[in-house]
A and B are shown apart, each in its own frame.
Chain A
Amino acid sequence: DQQVKQNSPSLSVQEGRISILNCDYTNSMFDYFLWYKKYPAEGPTFLISISSIKDKNEDGRFTVFLNKSAKHLSLHIVPSQPGDSAVYFCAAALGAQKLVFGQGTRLTINP
Protein backbone atom coordinates (compact mmCIF):
# COMPACT_ATOMS: atom_id res chain seq x y z
CA ASP A 1 0.00 0.00 0.00
CA GLN A 2 1.72 3.14 -1.25
CA GLN A 3 0.85 5.87 1.25
CA VAL A 4 2.79 8.57 -0.59
CA LYS A 5 2.57 8.71 -4.36
CA GLN A 6 4.32 10.74 -7.01
CA ASN A 7 2.38 9.85 -10.12
CA SER A 8 4.67 11.56 -12.61
CA PRO A 9 7.91 9.61 -13.08
CA SER A 10 9.39 12.44 -15.10
CA LEU A 11 8.90 16.10 -15.94
CA SER A 12 10.62 18.28 -18.52
CA VAL A 13 10.61 22.09 -18.18
CA GLN A 14 12.26 24.89 -20.07
CA GLU A 15 14.88 26.92 -18.26
CA GLY A 16 13.38 30.02 -16.65
CA ARG A 17 9.87 28.60 -16.48
CA ILE A 18 8.05 27.21 -13.46
CA SER A 19 8.48 23.56 -12.45
CA ILE A 20 5.61 22.00 -10.50
CA LEU A 21 6.12 18.62 -8.88
CA ASN A 22 3.15 16.86 -7.31
CA CYS A 23 2.68 14.40 -4.50
CA ASP A 24 -0.44 12.72 -3.10
CA TYR A 25 -0.85 10.93 0.19
CA THR A 26 -3.50 8.72 1.69
CA ASN A 27 -2.96 8.98 5.45
CA SER A 28 -4.67 12.10 6.81
CA MET A 29 -2.72 11.72 10.06
CA PHE A 30 0.60 12.73 8.44
CA ASP A 31 1.68 15.94 10.16
CA TYR A 32 4.86 16.92 8.37
CA PHE A 33 6.00 16.82 4.77
CA LEU A 34 9.41 17.17 3.17
CA TRP A 35 10.98 17.39 -0.26
CA TYR A 36 14.39 15.92 -1.04
CA LYS A 37 16.52 16.42 -4.12
CA LYS A 38 18.80 13.69 -5.43
CA TYR A 39 21.52 13.72 -8.04
CA PRO A 40 22.71 10.44 -9.63
CA ALA A 41 25.04 8.36 -7.46
CA GLU A 42 24.55 10.71 -4.50
CA GLY A 43 22.38 10.67 -1.40
CA PRO A 44 19.22 12.80 -1.22
CA THR A 45 19.56 16.25 0.28
CA PHE A 46 16.85 18.09 2.16
CA LEU A 47 15.19 20.85 0.18
CA ILE A 48 12.15 22.23 1.96
CA SER A 49 9.47 21.11 4.41
CA ILE A 50 6.03 22.07 5.65
CA SER A 51 4.03 21.35 8.76
CA SER A 52 0.41 20.27 8.44
CA ILE A 53 -0.69 23.41 10.28
CA LYS A 54 0.47 25.51 7.32
CA ASP A 55 -0.58 25.57 3.70
CA LYS A 56 2.50 27.23 2.22
CA ASN A 57 6.20 27.49 2.90
CA GLU A 58 8.65 29.47 0.79
CA ASP A 59 12.44 29.39 0.58
CA GLY A 60 13.96 31.38 -2.23
CA ARG A 61 12.99 29.84 -5.56
CA PHE A 62 11.24 26.93 -3.85
CA THR A 63 7.70 26.96 -2.51
CA VAL A 64 5.78 24.01 -1.10
CA PHE A 65 1.99 24.05 -1.03
CA LEU A 66 -0.13 21.75 1.09
CA ASN A 67 -3.82 21.05 0.42
CA LYS A 68 -4.95 18.91 3.34
CA SER A 69 -8.50 18.42 2.12
CA ALA A 70 -7.18 16.99 -1.15
CA LYS A 71 -4.25 15.24 0.55
CA HIS A 72 -2.01 16.85 -2.01
CA LEU A 73 1.42 18.42 -1.83
CA SER A 74 3.24 20.34 -4.53
CA LEU A 75 6.69 21.85 -4.99
CA HIS A 76 7.08 24.92 -7.18
CA ILE A 77 10.47 25.98 -8.51
CA VAL A 78 10.61 29.45 -10.05
CA PRO A 79 12.57 30.17 -12.14
CA SER A 80 13.85 26.73 -13.07
CA GLN A 81 17.60 26.43 -13.60
CA PRO A 82 19.73 23.70 -15.22
CA GLY A 83 21.12 22.74 -11.80
CA ASP A 84 17.61 21.85 -10.70
CA SER A 85 17.72 18.77 -12.94
CA ALA A 86 17.53 15.90 -10.45
CA VAL A 87 15.15 13.38 -8.94
CA TYR A 88 12.80 14.87 -6.36
CA PHE A 89 11.27 12.80 -3.57
CA CYS A 90 8.41 13.87 -1.37
CA ALA A 91 8.18 12.34 2.08
CA ALA A 92 5.63 12.35 4.88
CA ALA A 93 5.98 11.90 8.63
CA LEU A 94 3.55 10.88 11.33
CA GLY A 95 4.74 12.12 14.68
CA ALA A 96 8.12 10.62 15.50
CA GLN A 97 7.68 7.69 13.17
CA LYS A 98 9.92 7.00 10.20
CA LEU A 99 9.46 8.91 6.96
CA VAL A 100 7.43 7.47 4.10
CA PHE A 101 8.82 8.36 0.68
CA GLY A 102 7.21 8.68 -2.71
CA GLN A 103 8.64 7.02 -5.81
CA GLY A 104 10.36 10.17 -7.02
CA THR A 105 10.00 12.43 -10.09
CA ARG A 106 12.89 13.03 -12.44
CA LEU A 107 12.99 16.73 -13.37
CA THR A 108 14.88 17.79 -16.48
CA ILE A 109 15.45 21.47 -17.17
CA ASN A 110 16.05 22.18 -20.83
CA PRO A 111 18.12 25.18 -21.96
Chain B
Amino acid sequence: DGGITQSPKYLFRKEGQNVTLSCEQNLNHDAMYWYRQDPGQGLRLIYYSQIVNDFQKGDIAEGYSVSREKKESFPLTVTSAQKNPTAFYLCASSIPGRKGYTFGSGTRLTVV
Protein backbone atom coordinates (compact mmCIF):
# COMPACT_ATOMS: atom_id res chain seq x y z
CA ASP B 1 0.00 0.00 0.00
CA GLY B 2 1.23 3.48 -0.84
CA GLY B 3 1.61 6.03 1.89
CA ILE B 4 3.82 8.29 3.95
CA THR B 5 5.93 6.96 6.77
CA GLN B 6 7.18 9.18 9.54
CA SER B 7 9.61 7.84 12.07
CA PRO B 8 9.94 7.64 14.93
CA LYS B 9 6.47 8.14 16.41
CA TYR B 10 7.93 9.64 19.61
CA LEU B 11 11.30 11.32 19.99
CA PHE B 12 13.03 12.75 23.02
CA ARG B 13 16.08 14.99 22.88
CA LYS B 14 18.07 17.10 25.23
CA GLU B 15 18.01 20.85 24.79
CA GLY B 16 20.79 22.06 22.51
CA GLN B 17 20.93 18.93 20.38
CA ASN B 18 19.97 18.79 16.72
CA VAL B 19 17.49 16.10 15.76
CA THR B 20 16.34 14.80 12.37
CA LEU B 21 12.81 13.61 11.68
CA SER B 22 12.32 11.14 8.87
CA CYS B 23 9.62 11.30 6.18
CA GLU B 24 9.42 8.76 3.37
CA GLN B 25 6.68 8.36 0.75
CA ASN B 26 6.06 5.77 -1.93
CA LEU B 27 3.19 7.59 -3.62
CA ASN B 28 5.40 9.01 -6.37
CA HIS B 29 4.34 12.49 -5.31
CA ASP B 30 6.55 15.36 -6.41
CA ALA B 31 5.65 17.80 -3.63
CA MET B 32 6.34 17.29 0.07
CA TYR B 33 5.65 19.44 3.11
CA TRP B 34 6.49 19.75 6.79
CA TYR B 35 3.97 21.14 9.26
CA ARG B 36 4.05 21.73 12.95
CA GLN B 37 0.98 21.45 15.16
CA ASP B 38 0.72 23.19 18.51
CA PRO B 39 -2.42 23.27 20.68
CA GLY B 40 -4.83 25.94 19.44
CA GLN B 41 -2.60 26.98 16.55
CA GLY B 42 -3.56 24.59 13.82
CA LEU B 43 -1.08 23.50 11.18
CA ARG B 44 1.80 25.82 10.46
CA LEU B 45 3.99 25.28 7.41
CA ILE B 46 7.72 24.90 8.09
CA TYR B 47 9.20 23.97 4.70
CA TYR B 48 7.99 22.57 1.43
CA SER B 49 9.52 21.10 -1.69
CA GLN B 50 7.87 20.83 -5.08
CA ILE B 51 10.70 19.00 -6.80
CA VAL B 52 13.89 17.14 -5.97
CA ASN B 53 16.83 19.35 -4.98
CA ASP B 54 14.60 22.35 -4.42
CA PHE B 55 12.71 23.57 -1.35
CA GLN B 56 11.22 26.77 0.03
CA LYS B 57 10.69 28.21 3.47
CA GLY B 58 7.22 28.18 4.91
CA ASP B 59 5.79 30.47 7.55
CA ILE B 60 7.93 29.29 10.47
CA ALA B 61 11.23 28.06 8.97
CA GLU B 62 13.57 29.62 11.54
CA GLY B 63 15.49 26.97 13.46
CA TYR B 64 14.72 24.22 10.94
CA SER B 65 16.49 22.81 7.90
CA VAL B 66 15.53 20.30 5.21
CA SER B 67 16.97 18.45 2.26
CA ARG B 68 15.37 16.84 -0.78
CA GLU B 69 17.97 14.62 -2.40
CA LYS B 70 15.48 11.94 -3.39
CA LYS B 71 11.87 12.17 -4.51
CA GLU B 72 10.80 9.75 -1.80
CA SER B 73 12.49 11.43 1.16
CA PHE B 74 12.18 14.84 2.85
CA PRO B 75 13.94 14.80 6.24
CA LEU B 76 13.51 17.70 8.66
CA THR B 77 16.26 18.74 11.06
CA VAL B 78 15.26 20.63 14.17
CA THR B 79 18.33 22.60 15.18
CA SER B 80 19.34 24.01 18.53
CA ALA B 81 18.35 27.44 17.17
CA GLN B 82 14.66 26.51 17.30
CA LYS B 83 13.42 28.15 20.51
CA ASN B 84 10.36 25.97 21.15
CA PRO B 85 10.96 22.64 19.42
CA THR B 86 8.56 20.54 21.46
CA ALA B 87 5.58 19.90 19.14
CA PHE B 88 3.81 17.41 16.91
CA TYR B 89 5.38 17.35 13.44
CA LEU B 90 3.49 16.28 10.33
CA CYS B 91 4.83 15.46 6.90
CA ALA B 92 2.60 15.52 3.82
CA SER B 93 2.88 14.99 0.09
CA SER B 94 0.89 15.87 -2.99
CA ILE B 95 0.92 15.90 -6.76
CA PRO B 96 1.51 19.48 -7.94
CA GLY B 97 -1.58 20.85 -9.58
CA ARG B 98 -3.86 18.44 -7.77
CA LYS B 99 -5.65 19.46 -4.65
CA GLY B 100 -5.29 17.74 -1.36
CA TYR B 101 -2.44 16.33 0.64
CA THR B 102 -1.71 12.90 2.05
CA PHE B 103 -0.36 13.12 5.56
CA GLY B 104 1.90 10.87 7.57
CA SER B 105 1.00 9.82 11.10
CA GLY B 106 3.28 12.38 12.70
CA THR B 107 6.23 12.53 15.10
CA ARG B 108 5.90 13.95 18.59
CA LEU B 109 9.16 15.61 19.55
CA THR B 110 9.83 16.43 23.17
CA VAL B 111 12.90 18.41 24.10
CA VAL B 112 13.91 18.26 27.75
Contact = CB atoms under 8 A, between A and B. Distances in A.
Partners in one complex: yes
Interface of A: 6, 9, 32, 34, 36, 41-46, 49, 89, 93, 96, 98-99, 101-104
A49 B42 CA distance: 19
A101 B42 contact: yes
A41 B11 CA distance: 13
Tell me if B's interface is mostly helix, strand, loop or mixed: strand
A32 B104 contact: no
Given A98-B45, A104-B42, A49 B99 contact: yes
16 contacts: A6-B42, A34-B100, A41-B9, A41-B88, A42-B105, A43-B6, A43-B90, A43-B92, A45-B103, A46-B100, A46-B102, A96-B96, A98-B31, A98-B45, A98-B48, A103-B40
B97 A96 contact: yes
A9 B99 CA distance: 25
B58 to A, nearest CB: 8
B102 to A, nearest CB: 8
Majority SS of interface residues in chain A? loop
A13 to B, nearest CB: 20
A32 B105 contact: no
B43 A101 contact: yes
